[in-house]
Amino acid sequence: MSDLPGSAADLLPLLTRAERLLSRRVGGVLAAESLSIEAWRVLCLLADGLGHPMSEVAAEASLPPGTLTKLVDQLVDRNLVFRRIDPVDRRRIRAYLTARGRREHERVDAEIRADLAGLSMTDDTDLAGLLDALITRLDSGRRTPTPA
């Protein structure tokens, strides 16, 4: 009999352990660049070039708004990020990568990928798809009916 989980509820300890180990590994690469995991999450989100409202960045980076503001201030000071007023909703501020931020993101991303290359498995794409589907289900707030 396998010790693998049988339901989504059983995944929490496995996902937590995997996230911690992966964060530790990536954190080693980021530390050499004087970047935190949280800063990396922000840079990765902004790498799409679309600019994102600060509230969205806070939610995606899992950071409280005050903490995000301090972090973005540091990234602005390093000339990796800039802020602009949202052209549609002038009450909102959007964050973007600077040209230097894009170059740094690409360079550090390549370093991280090279560091993790030896860990890659042929089914990583399947795992990423399964995790994305799980995130979508959990984020949608759908609940599975409880058997009576």
pTM (predicted TM-score): 0.81
Per-residue model confidence as pLDDT tens digits over 80-128 = 999 999 988 999 999 999 999 999 999 999 999 999 988 877 777 888 8
* Domains defined for the chain, CATH in brackets: 24-112 (1.10.10.10)
The whole-angstrom separation of Cα 4 and Cα 16 is 15
Per-residue model confidence as pLDDT tens digits over 10-57 = 888 888 998 999 999 999 999 999 999 999 999 999 999 999 999 999
The whole-angstrom separation of Cα 99 and Cα 62 is 25
Backbone dihedral region for residue 98 (phi beyond 0: left; psi -120 to 50: alpha; all else: beta): beta
Higher-pLDDT residue of 27 and 141 is 27
Per-residue model confidence as pLDDT tens digits over 46-84 = 999 999 999 999 999 999 999 999 999 999 999 999 999
**96: three-class secondary structure by DSSP:** strand
- pLDDT higher than threshold 80 for residue 141: no
Question: Distance between the two ends of the chain, CA-based, in angstroms?
Answer: 28
Using the CB atoms, write b or e for 9-41: b if 16+ within 10 Å: eeeeeeeeeeeeeeeeebeebbeeeebeeebbb
| Sign for the pseudo-dihedral over CA of 43, 41, 129, 56 | negative
